[in-house]
Amino acid sequence: MRNRRSIKRYRYSSKTKKIPLRTLYARDNGVCAWCGKEVPFYLATRDHRIPKSKGGSNKSSNLQLMCFLCNQLKGNAIVA
Ligand SMILES: [Zn+2]
């Protein structure tokens, strides 16, 4: 006899979807959350307001637009 494993149902709703950068860019009007300047799309990056290491989520409410340079500076400023 074979033991049939019951199919586990994963809660897809609990999975946080990553917001597309384009959507984030549009939401924040292409303005960097740090320097407040308009960011060309090719320099735009996603940034977590609350770092994932500190329990931040991938929800759009925890994400903000940041230009590449600010993201670099911020990354260097925070000592993990
Ligand atoms: Zn910036």
Residue 20 Cα, ligand 1 centroid: separation in angstroms? 19
Contact 60, 25 (CB under 8 A): no
Residue 46: DSSP 8-state: E
Q: How far is the CA of 65 from the centre of ligand 1 (A)?
A: 9
pLDDT tens-place values along the chain, 80 residues long: 666 666 665 555 445 577 899 999 999 999 999 999 999 999 999 999 998 899 998 888 999 999 999 999 887 765 54
CATH fold group of domain 17-77: DNA Binding (I), subunit A (1.10.30)
Contact 46, 39 (CB under 8 A): no
- 7 Cα–ligand 1 center, Å: 47
